[in-house]
Amino acid sequence: MGTLLRCAGLAFVRSTDMGLTWTSVSAGFSGASGSYIETLATDGAGNWLAATADGQFRRSTNDGVTWSSVTAMFGSTTYAGVYEVATSGAMWVSFGNSSLSAQLPKKATSVGGSWVNMPISGLSQSYPSRAEYGGGTWIVQNNNNIYRSVDSGLTWVGSGAPHPRIAQIRTDGNGVWVAVGVQDYTAHKLIVARSTDDGLSWSTTTFDDAFESPLVATNGYGTWVVTGGGGKIKRSVDNGATWGANTHALPVGLYGNGHVVCSGGLWLILSTAAPVQIFRS
């Protein structure tokens, strides 16, 4: 397994030994106290793209050792918001606002290449978009719609989505997709949506317990893990068909911009709430 890189405020923590040891890496972001890296993506070939919520972009071409600036894609960084970057390896996409009322998805063919508009008709300005790629398919979730592309973002077909408050969407690359979110921002009841036909149709399950700020990851072999506030973990071993009871496996909650990832059989969970803590399985 290659480099593991996780966000921690406006910097990164980086590991090259299966998560046993970690070093801090500065990417050159600037911001007030409490600012954080909103989103991070890699193509698995040493290229990384990171963005902050206020519109700053940085890229690395050497597996996160050094970072350089990327031309802002969404206009003035004072008003711009960035909430998602993703990659297929051959294409990079980003979602953000050029102002408080205009959502502009963009795409590029390399991490440092020129960015062009990627029109997706019907995107709501009131909801952030979540994007993921796997097995030749791009999925973008926005408000109560799923947008699907199988031609590198040239055309998009919309369909009903699992739920508008989806926080993250992931795939195993073999046609199974899982999206997680909350029913509302009061009770924070967990929603898990699942597709087994490459995003064409979805089934949704709502759980009665609170699961604030849910995140999801898979090992690509049928096991999925959902993490949430309060240190909760929910696990499926049948590709999301059924889910076990909650376990409180972590001593801290994962509030804020936490992360869960599985790579090469190694599961890592990062809590960015101070002090930053990393859990390894």
pLDDT tens digits, one per residue of 219-263: 889 999 888 766 778 889 999 999 987 765 665 555 445 566 666
DSSP 72: -
Burial bucket for residue 268 (CB in 10 Å: 0-12, 13-18, 19+): buried
Span 12-17, average pLDDT: 76
Span 56-65, average pLDDT: 87
pTM for the full predicted model: 0.82
pLDDT at 92 exceeding the cut of 80: yes
What pLDDT does 159 receive?
Answer: 72
Residue spans of beta strands (DSSP E) within 77-120: 81-87, 92-97, 106-108, 116-117
Spatial distance between the Cα atoms of 243 and 109, rounded to a whole number of angstroms: 38
Spatial distance between the Cα atoms of 31 and 36, rounded to a whole number of angstroms: 8
What pLDDT does 84 receive?
Answer: 83
Mean pLDDT of the chain: 78
**Tokens read off for 55:** 């519109």
Span 138-145, average pLDDT: 82
Spatial distance between the Cα atoms of 145 and 142, rounded to a whole number of angstroms: 5
What pLDDT does 137 receive?
Answer: 93
Question: What is the residue whose two structure tokens read 């076990």?
Answer: 244
Distance of CA 111 to the CA centre of its chain: 17
pLDDT tens digits, one per residue of 152-161: 888 888 876 6
pLDDT at 104 exceeding the cut of 60: yes
Spatial distance between the Cα atoms of 82 and 255, rounded to a whole number of angstroms: 19
Helix (H) or strand (E) holding 75: none
Burial bucket for residue 45 (CB in 10 Å: 0-12, 13-18, 19+): exposed
